[in-house]
Structure 1
């Protein structure tokens, strides 16, 4: 497991290499640029280390990244990257991207709902 930027949240092992956490606001902006230019499907999980619900869904998010290798999975902590995440008002928030555009949003947690959204957008 990799600790997320010293915040105490752990990203579980990902065998596909499709799970990342940006290291800065610039890095997160680069992720947005990559999503727009490569047009590969992606999901961004906006969370916070202090959010109990975020901590509960993060292991499922990591496990699901192994089941959906065609998707890019990104975890973005709203406290770590405040400039790039200032539009996020609720944690966790999941944004789904396809063909370089945001196509869906899921507020809150729920492993089954998340799995259904991932299946729909993969």
Structure 2
């Protein structure tokens, strides 16, 4: 089940709105695509983390449809963490522990 703090992003405008609406929170964006097997493997763990971290906002961004917002993505999945609307961390991979550690580092 999708959590209340999880959003799907398909356009650059969706990304801009998501970051603006959540400027007061930490936002974690998972850039991936439906054909990426690593992205598919990551999703259940990403969803679980969102459920455990209700003070943060999470989003899954489809790179195939986003030209500007995903222009920095060279590998999928790429996870970006935003604070006050600005990117403060970015990493690649699907290791659940790596994701938890990086998100934990940004918590207040």
TM-score bin, normalised by smaller chain? 0.7 to 0.9
Q: Does 1:53 align with 2:42?
A: no
> 5+ residue gaps in structure 2?
none
Tell me the equivalent position of 2:2. Answer: 13
TM-score when scaled to structure 1? 0.79
* Structure 1 vs Structure 2 CA RMSD: 1.5
- Structure 2: how far apart are the matches of 1:51 and 1:82? 18
Aligned length: 107
Deviation at 1:66, TM superposition (A): 0.6
Q: Is the 8 A contact 2:10 2:62 kept in 1?
A: no
> 5+ residue gaps in structure 1?
1-11
Higher RCO (C-alpha under 8 Å, 6+ residues apart): 2
Tell me the equivalent position of 2:24. Answer: 39
Q: Structure 1 stretches (4+) deviating beyond 6 angstroms?
A: none
Tell me the equivalent position of 2:102. Answer: 117
Q: Secondary structure at the match of 1:79?
A: helix
TM-score when scaled to structure 2? 0.88
